[in-house]
Amino acid sequence: MTSMPETTQTRARGWRALGDEPRFLVLLPGLFWAGNAIVARSISAEIPPVALAFWRWTAAALLIAPLAWPYLRRDLPIMARRWPAMLVLTAFGIAIFNTLLYKAAQTTTALNIVMLQTTMPLVVVVASFLFFRQAVTWRQAVAIVISMAGALILISHGDPAVLAHLDFTTGDLWMLAAIVSYAIYTALLRLRPDVHGLSFACVTFAGGALMLLPIYIGETLLVRPMPVSATSILAIGYVALFASVLAYLAFNRVVALLGANTAGLAVHLVPVFGTLLAVLLLGESLHAYHGFGIGLIAFGLWLATRKAAG
């Protein structure tokens, strides 16, 4: 039996090391979710919210299935025995959260979506305490406050009056409900069965799509169908591969490594990457408040992960 070439072994060890490095993994959800809010808002007039959520998770399950296949035979019986936990995690983290976010995008702005998402770490802390009586540590509390301040500076462009004059709509209530849903998912991830991350993601993605299927059929028949166009295909491709497969694998791993309260801070990277993408892709200018806000978020994340990451 031939052994794996040394370069291949080294590369495999490098990927495994990245998979255990929370300070790297925590960057990915913020990067990919920054695009999710923009995509959701930009195609809200074209793609109905349930259709976008249904095809997102259907495509994500199909993308990840070949990678998960070697582990599913071993892990499916374990997940079947833990079906109540799997059902709850799939409902709150997959089916409900993203459908509500896309529903919110129909009547609110991408700015409001990102701004409201900054509250998620606080809601995760509350959920962790309610479900498991897990108290927030002083380090986590300080990190959340500092990081949230940095996120709000970015969102407001350094002007508090911007936040005071935001227009709130019913879409913002849908977004708040989405935040509560994902906070519950994050807190309850400790109930996840001891299975491979690819198996867990594949089953929850497919389960979320199945939960949405009857609602999607109703939306198609009673409201409007999703048009098949280059825009819809590209949008689903982005949210399936980047905002779903890659972001969820990374986020779930960060929760396993650092715990829910610290992992929730990943959402504060959404305005950071939104800013950087605007500068790189849209030619927007950097200002002093960008550096200040990003610096606060970076310090908050460093403070929260320093001890856990060693």
Q: Please choose, from the candidates 203, 178, 164, 199, the residue with its C-alpha nearest in 3D space to the C-alpha of residue 106.
A: 178
Q: For residue 301, give both structure tokens.
A: 């994340």
> What torsion do the CA atoms of 299, 301, 304, 305 make, to the nearest 10 degrees?
-110
CA 95 to chain CA centroid, Å, is 13
Both structure tokens of 141: 């509390």
- Cα–Cα distances in Å, from 77 out to 27, 80, 82, 200? 33, 5, 9, 12
CA distance 86 to 207: 9
pLDDT of residue 14: 55
Q: Provide the pLDDT for residue 309.
A: 46
Residue type, 176: L
The pLDDT value given to residue 227: 92
What pLDDT is stored for residue 55 in this prediction? Answer: 97
pLDDT value at residue 41: 78
Q: Decide if 264 contacts 124 (C-beta within 8 A).
A: yes
pLDDT of res. 308 = 47
pTM: 0.85
Q: From the DSSP assignment, how many helices (H) and strands (E) are in the chain?
A: 17, 0
Q: Closest by alpha carbon to 43, among 234, 191, 202, 309?
A: 234
**Alpha carbon distance 188, 96 (integer Å):** 15
Residues of the chain below pLDDT 50: 1-2, 4, 12, 308-310
CA distance 248 to 90: 12
Cα–Cα distances (Å) from 44 to 36, 93, 170, 227, in that order, read 12, 21, 15, 12
Residues near 97 by beta carbon (within 8 Å), at least 6 away in sequence = 178, 181, 182, 185
